[in-house]
């Protein structure tokens, strides 16, 4: 059953028309940055710059105030000094605008005077039925609507990951990662001071939207823990929620309070609440991105039992150690799989989990091993170490040879070797995607080269490719915890 939510949020995240109050042509001013981001993407709606000193801004007619716009406006975005916000909200009321994003800072995060002003804008908004995000926020993004009201264009691919962040700079960093890693974004909400819209209200909204497959949260403090945990317990039974709670230390807690005026509270209490409500907790922004991206694109494993295939013994040992630390179990290979792999692997292979294919480079062999492990009923996820990345080795070898005399290989032969290796890796990734789809088990690949997270597109879907065994283990450790939570509590 779908949750009910405030329909004004649809006006905010899927607007047909937007007014930017404080729009500017002056580079680096907030009104210029926000307007540029909106216009620089493919937003199909109408944009109205508002500035009493200009007739035209960035090629669009400008209006002295919201009241002067000769058309309906769904959303007002404010990038003006804090003291002008109360009157701006009254203009919203006169215009019939029910949703706003207040970028402006200068409220309770600066002290008593700002707190008083924040109380005033909240009172004005409630009096006139206006719902606003912020203040003191970097803005919002709605990728499926091609709308981003933030200070830097990102243009992420529309997808299934939603982000709620109480920090603007961390939120923007995550947005850039999502865009550059081809992860796919649904909605980003920078909640700022959360004067009206609280994190749990955004969480409830995202939980009700079909295009949202997983939710990442950066949290500094929560005012109403009971309301938050109630909503979280409902949402996590339908889709995964991954969160980082900052302010674990005394210094970090004080920094959080001065940052957005939030009350950080006991970290242990937050951890217990997350665990009880099904939220996957991580400790760093990098882990937040990796685990939430994995939760968006990978099926949740039904248990903590893992099979590993590696092209070399060292990586297998490291991965096995990491699995033990993460609470993952490596069951011993059954006789049936040993016999099956005896037929394709060298006689000296190790006959245990992790399966060491002892340096073989045949993609068909990789896929045979991975498929056998994925069919194995005693495991619910698979890690494939070293199956891609050889093409970079080939590129480096060719570059080194060309620095010598360039005569050992003709250009045609070098291109042919590189092309063959790239095709072999594409075959491997496509096969992994197929096996993952057929088995319903997550299969995580680790490349031979560095580079962090990448999502390889194949005809059978996307494959998660990482640069270290510990990242692969961490992801599956967190997802298996969530899988067990669903098993114990039942899906919605």
Which pLDDT belongs to residue 248?
Answer: 64
Specify whether the CB–CB gap between 196 and 122 falls below 8 A: yes
Question: Model confidence over 79-101: pLDDT tens digits?
Answer: 999 999 999 999 999 999 999 99
Which pLDDT belongs to residue 85?
Answer: 98
- Does this model's pTM top 0.95? My answer is no
Distances (CA, A) of 53 to 26, 50, 64, 106, 465: 13, 9, 7, 23, 52
Question: Model confidence over 159-215: pLDDT tens digits?
Answer: 999 999 999 999 999 999 999 998 999 999 999 999 999 999 999 999 999 999 999
Which pLDDT belongs to residue 399?
Answer: 77
Burial class (CB in 10 A: 0-12, 13-18, 19+), 301: buried
Q: What is the band of 40 on the pLDDT scale with cuts at 50, 70, 90? A: very high
The Cα–Cα gap between 345 and 360 comes to 8
Which pLDDT belongs to residue 307?
Answer: 98
Sign of CA dihedral 48, 49, 53, 56: negative
**Residue 362 predicted with pLDDT over 50:** yes
The Cα–Cα gap between 158 and 198 comes to 24
Question: Model confidence over 252-298: pLDDT tens digits?
Answer: 445 544 444 444 458 889 999 999 999 999 999 999 999 999 999 99
CB-CB neighbours of 443 under 10 Å: 29
| % of the chain with per-residue pLDDT over 70 | 94
Question: Model confidence over 418-447: pLDDT tens digits?
Answer: 788 788 889 999 999 999 999 999 999 999
Q: Where in the chain is the domain with CATH 3.40.50.261?
A: 8-297, 306-489
Q: In this structure, which topology does domain 306-489 adopt according to CATH?
A: Rossmann fold (3.40.50)
Closest CA to 454 of 407, 399, 392: 392
Which pLDDT belongs to residue 491?
Answer: 78
Specify whether the CB–CB gap between 83 and 117 falls below 8 A: yes
Specify the CATH class of 8-297 in words. alpha beta
- In the chain the first and final C-alpha atoms are separated, in Å, by 8
């Amino acid at each position: 059953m779908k949750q009910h939510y405030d329909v004004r949020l649809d006006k905010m995240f899927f607007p047909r028309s937007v007014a930017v109050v404080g729009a500017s042509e002056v580079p680096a001013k907030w009104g210029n940055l926000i307007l540029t981001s909106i216009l620089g993407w493919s937003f199909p709606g109408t944009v109205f710059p508002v500035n009493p000193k200009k007739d035209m801004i960035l090629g669009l007619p400008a209006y002295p105030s919201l009241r002067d716009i000769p058309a309906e406006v769904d959303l007002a975005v404010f990038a003006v000094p804090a003291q002008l916000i109360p009157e701006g909200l009254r203009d919203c009321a006169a215009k019939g605008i029910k949703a706003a994003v207040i970028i402006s800072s200068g409220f309770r995060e600066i002290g008593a005077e700002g707190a008083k002003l924040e109380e005033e804008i909240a009172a004005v908004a409630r009096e006139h039925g206006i719902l606003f995000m912020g203040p003191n926020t970097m803005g919002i993004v709605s990728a499926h609507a091609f709308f981003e009201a933030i200070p830097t264009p990102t243009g992420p691919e529309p997808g299934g990951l939603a982000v709620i962040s109480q920090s603007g700079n961390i939120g923007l960093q995550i947005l850039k990662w999502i865009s550059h890693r081809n992860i796919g974004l649904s909605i980003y909400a920078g909640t700022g001071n959360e004067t009206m819209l609280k994190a749990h209200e955004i969480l409830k909204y995202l939980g009700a939207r079909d295009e949202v497959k997983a939710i990442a949260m950066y949290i500094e403090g929560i005012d109403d823990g009971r309301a938050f945990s109630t909503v979280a317990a409902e949402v996590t039974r339908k889709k995964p929620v991954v969160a980082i709670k900052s302010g674990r230390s005394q210094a970090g807690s004080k920094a959080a309070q001065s940052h957005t005026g939030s009350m950080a509270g006991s970290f242990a209490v937050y951890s217990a609440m997350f665990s009880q409500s099904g939220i996957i907790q991580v400790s760093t922004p990098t882990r937040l991105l990796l685990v939430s991206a994995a939760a968006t694109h990978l099926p949740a494993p039904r248990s903590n039992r893992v099979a590993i295939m590696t092209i070399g013994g060292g990586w297998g040992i490291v991965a096995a150690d990491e699995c033990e630390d993460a609470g993952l179990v490596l069951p011993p290979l059954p006789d049936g799989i040993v016999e099956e792999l005896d037929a394709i692997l060298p006689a000296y292979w190790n006959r245990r989990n992790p399966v060491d294919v002892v340096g073989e480079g045949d993609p068909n062999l990789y896929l045979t091993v991975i498929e056998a492990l994925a069919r194995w009923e005693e495991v619910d996820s698979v890690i494939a170490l070293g199956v891609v990345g050889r093409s970079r080795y080939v590129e480096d070898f060719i570059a080194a040879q060309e620095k010598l005399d360039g005569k050992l290989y003709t250009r045609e032969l070098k291109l042919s070797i590189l092309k063959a290796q790239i095709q072999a890796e594409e075959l491997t990734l496509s096969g992994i995607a197929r096996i993952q789809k057929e088995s319903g088990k997550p299969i995580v690949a680790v490349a031979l080269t560095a580079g962090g997270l990448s999502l390889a597109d194949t005809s059978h879907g996307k494959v998660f490719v990482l640069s270290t065994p510990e990242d692969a283990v961490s992801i599956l450790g967190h997802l298996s915890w969530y899988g067990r939570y669903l098993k114990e509590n039942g899906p919605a």
